[in-house]
Amino acid sequence: MSMNQTNTGSASIRDIFKEHGAIFNPDRDYLCVQNFGSIENEYHALYNSAGIRILPDKGIYKLHGTDTLDFLHRITTNETKNLEKNRVTRTIFTNENGRIIDYATLINYGDYLLMTGCPEYEEKLLKWIEKYIIVDDVNVLPFRDEIIIIEILGPKADQFVELLSGNTGSSVDERRLIPISVDNVSFDLIRPHMNDKFHHYWIIVEQKICAELLNSMLDDHLGLEISLIGEEAHEIFRIENGLPSSPNEFNENINPHEAGIISDVSFTKGCYIGQEVIARLDTYDKVQKHLRSIVFQTDNVPDGDYMLYSEDNIRAGHITSLTYSRKIKKTVGLGYIRKSYSKDNTRLKAKIETGTNNKSPESFDVLVVENPV
């Protein structure tokens, strides 16, 4: 794929999006697109080829200073102080009660650290970090004006990445950043979450050349049916496949055990904020609820905030994300469910929270499942 095949001139990313029929979300950042005219086409690409999505510009940070890695090692859940240049890791910011402040990806560029987290938590996370910087040489700033992160997702993402960069998917592991230069356009490639089920990459590129790269990606993909992806199609795909996200599933009501991200907690590195609570939950098997997928067994499910109840009307949990699955033609969701009701194929009742009695007279049969689609 040659970068010389297209000339974007002064075109911006937003201009490119408009050319592809973008409907922007007025309540989010300026590059947040609801859809590109056909949710069905975008949805098809996610399951049959590959989709291109620009990550929100908030929740991206630049950290620098001689104490940065050691500081993060002391206040977050994972081992970070020995993170080498061009290496990638994930870690969790937790409060004193072991609940999730934010779930972050860290990339060591040598001179600085690139960190990504939840867009909605940017102001809160900055204040949280600054609260603990006392004498440490650590500086943290929003990085939204300098870089863009392009997400590639779908079963043909491996082929597309190889076409774009010359690197096969097998050569990109989740712990390593690969610098790429194609026709004098430079970007970095990582695989943020290694998963046999999902083919998933991030391209990290300077904002000033992102439009050129993006245009080339859309122009020349040799029949791979690449499509720009908006938030609506991505949200359906996310929930169908049981993928948790901030702020719905990662927030200060939830700990890493419950959210299923305990693999990004080190039990050997020593103290961090919330360490005693998280370790105690692990040692004494005190985790009370788990994140699970659910499938509604009835049609015409109204939107709402649903609580989950057992068949004998005992509170069993709550639903955090909900969507209609185009794949199985049913309403599916994610939710936190009490341990005793979280086994696969458990039947529950979903009721909308209303008024003062907290229960809707109408209930819906749901099934707890491991994989909705």
State pTM to two decimals.
0.92
Average pLDDT, the chain: 90
Query: Quick one: pLDDT band at residue 144, thresholds 50, 70, 90?
Result: confident
pLDDT one-digit tens code per residue, 77-96 = 999 999 999 999 999 999 99
pLDDT of 224: 80
DSSP assignment letter at 145: T
How confident is the model over 314-318, as a mean pLDDT?
97
Rg of the chain, C-alpha, whole Å = 22
How confident is the model over 183-187, as a mean pLDDT?
86
Query: Quick one: pLDDT band at residue 197, thresholds 50, 70, 90?
Result: confident
| Main-chain dihedrals φ then ψ at residue 113, nearest 5 degrees | -115, 130
Domain segments of the chain as ranges: 3-57+145-240, 288-369
pLDDT at residue 183 is higher than 90 = no
CA pair distance 225, 52, nearest whole angstrom: 11
Instruction: Say if strands 100-108 and 88-94 run parallel, antiparallel, or are unpaired.
Output: antiparallel
pLDDT of 194: 57
pLDDT of 25: 86
| Main-chain dihedrals φ then ψ at residue 224, nearest 5 degrees | -85, 0
How confident is the model over 196-208, as a mean pLDDT?
88
3-57+145-240 CATH fold: Gyrase A; domain 2 (3.30.1360)
pLDDT of 8: 39
pLDDT of 7: 37
Helix (H) or strand (E) holding 228: strand 226-228
Between these two residues, 42 and 145, which has the higher pLDDT value? 42
The CATH code belonging to domain 288-369 is 2.40.30.110
pLDDT one-digit tens code per residue, 235-272 = 999 999 999 999 999 999 999 999 999 999 999 999 99
- Rounded (to 5) percent helix, strand, coil in the chain: 25, 30, 45
pLDDT one-digit tens code per residue, 3-26 = 443 333 346 999 999 999 999 988
